[in-house]
Amino acid sequence: MTATQPDVAIPGFLHMIYPYAGEQEYLSGTLAYIEHARASGGNVVVAAPPARREALSAALSADAGVTFVDTDALGRNPGRLIPAWQEWIGRLARNGAVHGINESVFSGRSPAHYGELRYQEWLLNLAFARTPALALMCPVDTGGQEETAIEALTRCHPLLWDGAACVPGTAYREDAYVFEPLPELEEPAEQMAYDLGTLHEARQKTLGWAMANGLPSTRARELTLAVSEVAGNSVLYGGGRGTLRLSRQATALVCEMADAGVITDPMVGRIKPPEDQLGGRGLWFVNQLCDLVQIRSAPGQGTRIRLWMDLPPQQA
């Protein structure tokens, strides 16, 4: 096994997982990574939950030159992670290679959230495949997690940080991502077919249902806008029509739309559209508005998109 140091001459994109157990192991592994990065003159960006940022910050000197970014500000939707990294890298890349620490919180997530987080980790390989000098180390707290869950995450990372060096991962799957089947929604409260002539009706139905089920008015309007975007895509690209199902889950409202179209670009809605480009913003809006977005699409099966909006704690 050949060790690769994440130095200034990063050969393209290095994406590594760092499974750790406990804060001590977290700190030793991440500090070693930062030390390597600084030694090579690269920029270091740490995107981690507040407690991890505080622990790292306390262990680093004030002049360590590490940039901390607030992942809480991204909200809960994993679909916002890739554009956030693009922005952070864009700010720093002109000053040389970027070495990132990319930590998401996996524990306590619903199966749906967990699945999308894992998919997001796999998509990072596509999103930054052509980035010339970027290393992303993804710490994963193994405490309280099933071994199979860690294995599944390992399959999304070509490389492994072993606490001191970057080594090839052994479980990485380069071929197409395999989704677990979407579980059936609980008995939907509302269902309707839509086309161009009934888009407004679909919006009205969504808004009324969302507010009746405890979503505050602004969030209900945002969910309605997201539904409008997906339904509009059905009209334009999905055979002109689709079906909307509305289902209340324990802690969230879910709107599912199905149509006959096929989405072939896995990055759709996950890359911020250039300002000078007109159009191409529908699914971008959806990812920015919703707490979770699940897209399943395949030839012969059409497309199913689920939009999740978390209920306020008192409504959940």
Partner 1 sequence: MCWQVSSPQEYARGRRELIAHTARSGARLLIVGGPAGTGDDAGSGRVIDTALDTALDLDPALDVALDSTSGASWERPSRVLLPAVRREVHEAQRSGQSVRVLAGMDHLARSQQSLDELITHEMDLGELATQGGTSVVCAYSRLVWSPGVIQDVTAVHSRVVGLEPRAAVFRLTRADADSWNLEGSVGLESLRPFSAAVRGALARTPRARLRCTGLDLVDAAAWRALVESVTQTRGGSLVLEGANETVRTAWRMSGYAGYGAAIEVRG
Contact between 291 and partner 1 per CB under 8 A: no
The least distance separating partner 1 from the CB of residue 215, rounded to whole angstroms, comes to 13
Instruction: Pick between residue 69 and residue 283 the one whose CB is nearest to partner 1.
Output: 283
Q: How many residues bind partner 1 (CB under 8 A)?
A: 28
Instruction: Pick between residue 109 and residue 272 the one whose CB is nearest to partner 1.
Output: 272
Q: How far apart are the first and last CA of the chain?
A: 49
Q: Tell me if residue 132 falls in helix, strand or coil.
A: coil
Evaluate the CA torsion angle 226, 229, 230, 235 in order and state its sign: positive
Cα separation, 57 vs 44, in Å, equals 12
Contact between 91 and partner 1 per CB under 8 A: no
Phi/psi at 45 (nearest 5 deg)?
Answer: -120, 130
Cα separation, 22 vs 229, in Å, equals 43
The least distance separating partner 1 from the CB of residue 263, rounded to whole angstroms, comes to 16
Contact between 236 and partner 1 per CB under 8 A: yes
Alpha helices in the chain (DSSP H): 22-39, 50-59, 81-92, 111-127, 147-154, 199-212, 217-237, 282-289
* DSSP3 helix / strand / coil % (the chain, rounded to 5): 40, 25, 35
Q: Find the part of the chain contacting partner 1 (CB under 8 A) among 67-75, 152-160, 179-187, 232-240.
A: 232-240
Q: Find the part of the chain contacting partner 1 (CB under 8 A) among 72-80, 101-109, 122-130, 284-292.
A: 284-292
Site string for partner 1, 169-208 (x = CB under 8 A): ---------------------------xx-xx--x-----
Buried b (16+ CB within 10 A) or exposed e, 137-152: bbbbbbeeeeeebbeb
The least distance separating partner 1 from the CB of residue 222, rounded to whole angstroms, comes to 6
The least distance separating partner 1 from the CB of residue 235, rounded to whole angstroms, comes to 6
| Nearest Cα to Cα of residue 315 among 214, 186, 218 | 214
Cα separation, 85 vs 124, in Å, equals 10
Instruction: Pick between residue 107 and residue 204 the one whose CB is nearest to partner 1.
Output: 204
Q: Find the part of the chain contacting partner 1 (CB under 8 A) among 8-16, 96-104, 116-124, 219-227.
A: 219-227
Q: Among residues 209, 282, 291, 304, which is the contact residue for partner 1, using CB under 8 A?
A: 282
Contact between 241 and partner 1 per CB under 8 A: no
The least distance separating partner 1 from the CB of residue 258, rounded to whole angstroms, comes to 18
Contact between 224 and partner 1 per CB under 8 A: yes
Q: Among residues 41, 132, 273, 312, which is the contact residue for partner 1, using CB under 8 A?
A: 273
* CB-based contact 222:215 (threshold 8 Å): no
Cα separation, 85 vs 114, in Å, equals 19
Give residues in contact with partner 1 (CB under 8 A): 196-197, 199-200, 203, 218, 221-222, 224-225, 228-229, 232, 235-236, 272-276, 278-279, 281-282, 284-285, 288-289
